[in-house]
Chain A
Amino acid sequence: METKLSHTDELLTQYRNLLPVFEKMAEVIPERLKDFFEEAGIIVAAVEHRVKTESSLTGKLQLKGEKYQSIYDITDVVGIRVISFYNDDVDKVASVLERLFEIDWENSIDKRKAHEIDSFGYLSLHYICRIPESAYSVPGHPELNKIRFEVQMRTVLQHAWANMNHDTGYKSGVEIPNVYKRNLSRLAGMLELVDDEFSRIRQELADYRRQVQKLVASGNLDEVPLDGDSFKSYLQIGPFDALMYRIASINQAEIQPVDLSNFLPLFKAMGFHTLGDINKLIKEYSEAAYQISCFQIGLTDIDILSSSVAPQNLCTACILKRGGGSLGLTWMLDVLNGPSEVNKAMAEFLLEQTKDLPFMNQ
């Protein structure tokens, strides 16, 4: 007993001596990790850290102190937890760690794989890491490269379950009845399914976006439904640019590029279902849109235009040719700029300006 106590004391003394280093590591490593995740495009919900307290370490040493020769054998004095939104991001986080640190594979564990096929429960990936000298070292401080630390990687839902399980089933120190254990397992199973579903949906969305980008790039626009994603991809190919350059050439005007995504609700409200419908609008009404601008700015000294003029004029021409008149134009301005009393007056102004243009009589 005496030997065990003195060994514990020795380890605790080592712990106290190294505590400033542990604390510094726990502070700096998560910050560096966040930078690397950002560079890798991985969005994480949180990166937490803690240094094991002396009382917690004492408890651990009293239970299995003889297992450790020195404080360097204890791998979880510094603990870091990376919580991601999607379970496939857990593996991406792991690959970042593999690039940055030396992984102690013998002591690392993938609890996601450790489960029996008919049980559910705590899922997490734990890596025991060390900072390789090749990556970072400080002369006179070899301990920096000797200390191992634990990084736990899990999803938000795994984290939630682990916390609930800890609070209800473990922390109390009282053995809980099987019925509650079973309910916690059911919950774990459900959260595992939800995690998989989130990842599946994200993957499907990514596939859909890629597919849309491919169709847009190949020009098969009739097959692309009009929605936020497809419209965004469509705008990237600059569908209104040719018309806009032509309009700007009237006065050698500077074009101020603006985000045109606010035209999506208008296009949808005009009954367009695919990107092909917008393409048809461009083909059919570009000349009319040009005529509108010729009349509006041709005799002025206006030499700056927003890039929204092209789609705005296309919609104006289309609505007028469909017989929408003043009411239709007021509606267009309401959708584009928000409802306002003055939109009616602006619509009247537009109608007055366009009524004698050649396209109106063709």
Chain B
Amino acid sequence: MTVTIENTNDMTIAHLVGRLDTPTTAEVSPYFEQLQNAADGTVLLDCKDLTYIASSGLRLFLSLRKVSIAKGGKVIVKSLSNDVRQVFMITGFLNLFEIQ
């Protein structure tokens, strides 16, 4: 699992690649902390190459959303694969994020 963070003029983009399961969640947590620091603006999670997400990964997304709301920012989830989107749907997470 890799996370690459890119800052553009109007947003912070995180490219998530691989499986976000319990072991990898711990690995990528520091990147999400970095994203939380930028959560007063727009954070875009590019999930084009995210192949799997477990509950621990959903919690990372959720924490980022909470911080973003508190700071008046916005989290956009982009390009979910069908498999990951299905997890978002059955857990009710589709309603939580702006999905592109």
A interface, size bucket? 20 to 34
Contact A304 B59 (CB under 8 A): yes
Which one of A127-135, A154-162, A337-345 is at the interface? A337-345
Contact B95 A306 (CB under 8 A): yes
B interface, size bucket? 10 to 19
B26 at the interface (CB under 8 A from A): no
Q: How far in angstroms is the closest Cβ of chain A from B39?
A: 18
Contact A302 B55 (CB under 8 A): yes
Which one, A305, A340, A342, A349, contacts B92 given CB within 8 A? A305
Instruction: List residues of B (58-100) whose CB comes within 8 Å of A's CBs.
Output: 58-59, 62, 80, 82, 85-87, 89-96, 99
| C-alpha gap A308/B95 in the complex (Å) | 7
Contact A309 B90 (CB under 8 A): yes
Contact A301 B54 (CB under 8 A): yes
Q: How far in angstroms is the closest Cβ of chain A from B68?
A: 14
* A270-309 interface code vs B (CB 8 A; 1 in, 0 out): 0000000000000000000000010011000111111111
| C-alpha gap A346/B80 in the complex (Å) | 12
Residue numbers in B under 8 Å from A337 (CB-CB)? 94-95, 99
Contact A304 B62 (CB under 8 A): yes
Q: How far in angstroms is the closest Cβ of chain A from B86?
A: 6
Residue of B nearest to A306 (CB): B92
Can you pick out 10 interface pairs between chain A and chain B where the beta carbons lie within 8 Å of each other? A258-B92, A296-B90, A297-B91, A302-B55, A309-B91, A309-B92, A337-B94, A337-B95, A342-B85, A349-B82
